[in-house]
Structure 1
């Protein structure tokens, strides 16, 4: 099998922590990862919008995926995963505040089980070493 065919069967995922669980997004959707800085609260914003921050001259909306996914809000909230604007709703500058970024892993698409819930946010589930990693789609959260 050629390297190209092998790559087509695999996908690189960025793993991150939300509470006590591990989640992942396709690395192709990620523009950069930054430390949490001062956020400006936006009055009357949806409850999942933490605020906005200036990131290299762009006003970037920071979303808390925990509030959208119903995850307990314990955790360090140390990093922001900023998404490529080509992969966000309306091409907006959006980042997710996460507890910690773990690693980039290469996953065989055959090892991804379909989502157990009828929800566009969950792409699938990866079972690894007795634990589960939830592969989510960042495009479902509108800022």
Structure 2
């Protein structure tokens, strides 16, 4: 496997979280806030993984359940369930999306030299949404590319 090089910096921090027993990570600079699960306003005629919207700080934010999006078994939301509000770049604008995950794990300090290309097999999600994978203390963390996961072209696929 080839190493993925980061043009921005040689080290970065990632917020790690779990979905269906697997550990994922997103660039911490994209995280606006972490909230406990709360009921969302459902919208008609939306895909199952779009749970609805929340009003956050005067903005309406769509909430997407990554567990449902990744075709994992449904579970009841509990005290560990959280919404991670992420900023994404869409058509030169910064927008916010919330993603529902099973729980938040840690903040990881990762060097770009540790990040490997994601293999085409063995993950539950399309590899175009992945920034790479890293092994830390014998555990694999799947790093998500937020802009590719949550852009208008990808919303149909979400």
SS in 1 for 2:9: helix
SS in 2 for 1:105: strand
**C-alpha separation in 2, matches of 1:88 and 1:45:** 22
Tell me the C-alpha RMSD between the 2 structures. Answer: 2.0
Which residue, out of 138, 146, 156, partners 1:138? 146
Matched, 1:121 2:129: yes
**C-alpha separation in 2, matches of 1:64 and 1:58:** 19
1:63 is aligned to 64
Shift of the alpha carbon at 1:47? 2.3
**C-alpha separation in 2, matches of 1:125 and 1:71:** 20
**C-alpha separation in 2, matches of 1:141 and 1:81:** 13
Which residue, out of 78, 97, 102, partners 1:99? 102
Change (3 A) 1:18 1:49: same
* Deviation readout 1:105-138 (Å, 9 max, x if unpaired): 1101111110112622111111122221100112
Structure number with the higher helix fraction is: 1
In the alignment, structure 1 segments of 5+ residues that lack a partner are: 1-6
1:111 is aligned to 114
Shift of the alpha carbon at 1:40? 1.0
In the alignment, structure 2 segments of 5+ residues that lack a partner are: 1-7, 121-125
Shift of the alpha carbon at 1:10? 0.9
CA contact (8 A) 1:88 1:94 kept: no
1:17 is aligned to 18
1:79 is aligned to 82
Aligned residues: 135
Shift of the alpha carbon at 1:80? 0.7
Shift of the alpha carbon at 1:88? 4.1
Shift of the alpha carbon at 1:58? 1.2
